[in-house]
Amino acid sequence: MDYKNSEAPLSTITYNREKVENPTGNLYEAIVIMAKRATQINGDLKKELIEKLDEFATHNDSLEEVFENKEQIEVSKFYERLPKPTAIAVEEWLANKTYHRTPDTK
């Protein structure tokens, strides 16, 4: 999924409790589902960031040559400006883009 084009807010906002709990009927169940989705998003973003930063990595054991790589700094700043995984998960939940099921029900 493309998290870079997310419409999630960059700062904390208040959500309507009824909209959050409406799909499941239980606020706590909805929060658990969103938390699990946020963990998935965080893992995806972390993996993507590490792959991009590995392109700039120097693989020598010398501590004498430590230098700043402007491209590496720009990539890091870009990922820092993205919305937090929890905000993305809440937006996906409110837009009914999150699939969830209860294993007990058939």
What is the structure's pLDDT at 105?
64
The better pLDDT of the pair 68, 77 is held by: 77
Rounded average pLDDT over 77-97:
91
Q: What is the pLDDT of residues 34-71, one digit of tens each?
A: 999 999 999 999 999 888 888 877 666 555 555 567 77
Provide the b/e sequence for 57-85 (b: ≥16 CB within 10 Å): eeeeeeeeeeeeeeeeeebeeebeebbbb
What DSSP string runs through 57-90?
------SS-----HHHHHHHHHHHHSPPHHHHHH
Residue ranges of domains in the chain: 29-57+66-100
Reported pTM: 0.80
How far apart CA 21 and CA 75 sit, in angstroms, is 36
